[in-house]
Amino acid sequence: MKIEDWRNRIDELNDELIALLNKRATYATEIGKIKKQMGLPVFDAAREDAVLENVAALTKGPLTPESIKNIFRVIMQETRKVEE
């Protein structure tokens, strides 16, 4: 395949990633509503640590577990904003 073919595939994946990230944020919004009703803080360090460990364990390369953790740290940071 040519470079443009690979780029087109990446563009398609970007579309899918955006849809999945927005779906995740929608779920987080619902969790935020429940936390608010229960008087719980938005940030849950134990939960976020567990998520990071889980996603790192799922990594099968070429991204390293630490790279995946870094990506998910940003995802969770941005998602917390919609939970508030």
Tell me the pTM. 0.89
Say whether pLDDT at 16 is over 90: yes
Q: Distances in Å between the alpha carbon of 51 and those of 7, 43, 54?
A: 30, 13, 5
What pLDDT shows up at residue 39?
A: 96
CB within 8 A of 43, min separation 6: which ones? Answer: 80
Q: What is the pLDDT of residue 84?
A: 81
Instruction: Report how far residue 20's alpha carbon sits from residue 24's, in angstroms, rounded to the nearest whole number.
Output: 6
Per-residue model confidence as pLDDT tens digits over 22-49: 999 999 999 999 999 999 999 999 999 9
